[in-house]
Amino acid sequence: MKNWIQTFILFLIAAAVFIFNSSTTCSSSMLALVTDQIQSSSYSPYSEDDSFLYKKNFRKSGKQIVYAFKKAYPHKVEQIEFRNNDWALKISGTWFHYCEGRLLPEGSLNQKYEYTAYPFYRYEKGLPPLPVFTEQEKKLIEAKIAEREFNPPHRHPGIYNALWRISDEATAWERVKNIYFLGKKTQIHRELLEELAAVEEEIMEKAKTDSELKAFIASIADTAGYTWRKIADTNSLSCHAYGIAIDIIPKRMSKLITYWLWAKEYHKEWYSIPYKDRFIPPLTFIEAFERHGFIWGGKWFYFDTIHFEYKPEILILNGWDLD
């Protein structure tokens, strides 16, 4: 009898070990599957692919991306060339290679696997419809975010350093200027003063006849441009560190949601939070920014609805005409 009980206990332990092993193999192969799907559906294998998240493909070649930069920054991009089997662009005398979206300076091509690609993504006019995900896709999103936390994107800052002539906090301070935007004091890159003035002019003009827009302007508590910092939970510099991003902060948030990373803490399916529960400036306000080369973070899957940043290359890649 005692022998039988011992055998039974050993059997239970063996069964438990077997189940544990197969479940861990299962979850790691699940992650491999996610990575495979993300990589195979993307034109550039190391980019943060968004076609799965937006349920739409957005594939641009190295040539299209390099030409979008030339059109976006005509006075900064000095030359474009097909060099050593890859598209490249020259800024301030340095060649940057497309390198599957990584945009690496020629001197860093040997370390290419250390770097993540820049995201080049679909950006629609108006509010894009929120995607509806299947249960399996929701699991893939969770795995993608877990992977992101474990292995945050690390982009080579060289190309934006060259475009904005900023390499550290000291040079950033030399490039930014104190301004008033919609009556609030902030700091912005000196080379964006005209663009931001044009945005402001358009907003003020429209507000004369648009009462919703007028009320929104009155509800702004603060505008936050330059700050020396990285993107939350990543190793990459934020656009705020270049003085090319501006946050519009309202006096009252009224429980509206602004940022995916905070929403994730208490909403399991934070990406399904309807627009009515998110803080959203009037479309006329957003469009004034867009016409002058700024994109609004509220259209990102990883949304940040108070955030605007100057990225004309994204709008050009999406076929927008800019003023």
Identify which range of 5-13, 44-52, 191-199, 304-312 contacts Zn ion by CB under 5 A.
Answer: 304-312
Nearest CB to Zn ion, comparing residues 200 and 247: 247
Cα distances (angstroms) measured from residue 241 to each of 199, 202, 245, 268: 21, 26, 8, 31
- Check: CB of residue 265 under 8 Å from CB of residue 295: no
For the chain, the maximum distance between any two Cα atoms, rounded to a whole number of angstroms, is 92
Nearest CB to Zn ion, comparing residues 81 and 169: 169
* Closest among 91, 114, 238 to 99, alpha carbons compared: 114
> How far is residue 101 CA from its own chain's centroid?
14
Shortest Å, Cβ 92 to Zn ion? 26
Nearest CB to Zn ion, comparing residues 100 and 247: 247
* Closest among 79, 72, 67, 83 to 160, alpha carbons compared: 72
Nearest CB to Zn ion, comparing residues 99 and 245: 245
Shortest Å, Cβ 259 to Zn ion? 9
Interface pattern 52-81 for Zn ion (x via CB under 5 A): ------------------------------
Two structure tokens written together for 47: 């980019």
Shortest Å, Cβ 247 to Zn ion? 4
Q: What CA–CA distance (Å, rounded) separates 59 from 56?
A: 10
Nearest CB to Zn ion, comparing residues 244 and 245: 245
Q: What CA–CA distance (Å, rounded) separates 76 from 91?
A: 6
Q: What CA–CA distance (Å, rounded) separates 313 from 160?
A: 12
Shortest Å, Cβ 236 to Zn ion? 14
Q: What CA–CA distance (Å, rounded) separates 242 from 165?
A: 9
Which residue lies nearest Zn ion, judged by its C-beta? 307
**Is 307 a binder of Zn ion (CB under 5 A)?**
yes
Nearest CB to Zn ion, comparing residues 104 and 280: 280
Nearest CB to Zn ion, comparing residues 43 and 216: 216
Helix or strand or coil: residue 89? strand
Identify which range of 92-100, 138-146, 261-269, 307-315 contacts Zn ion by CB under 5 A.
Answer: 307-315
Identify which range of 90-98, 203-211, 237-245, 314-322 contacts Zn ion by CB under 5 A.
Answer: 237-245
Shortest Å, Cβ 226 to Zn ion? 11
Cα distances (angstroms) measured from residue 93 to each of 80, 96, 178: 12, 10, 30
Find the binding residues for Zn ion in span 241-300 (CB under 5 A). 245, 247
Q: What CA–CA distance (Å, rounded) separates 33 from 31?
A: 5
Shortest Å, Cβ 317 to Zn ion? 21
Binding-site size, Zn ion (CB under 5 A):
3
Cα distances (angstroms) measured from residue 19 to each of 22, 26, 194, 205: 5, 10, 64, 67
Q: What CA–CA distance (Å, rounded) separates 92 from 167?
A: 13
- Check: CB of residue 225 under 8 Å from CB of residue 188: yes
Shortest Å, Cβ 224 to Zn ion? 7
**Is 311 a binder of Zn ion (CB under 5 A)?**
no
Nearest CB to Zn ion, comparing residues 71 and 230: 230
The site for Zn ion (CB under 5 A) is made up of 245, 247, 307
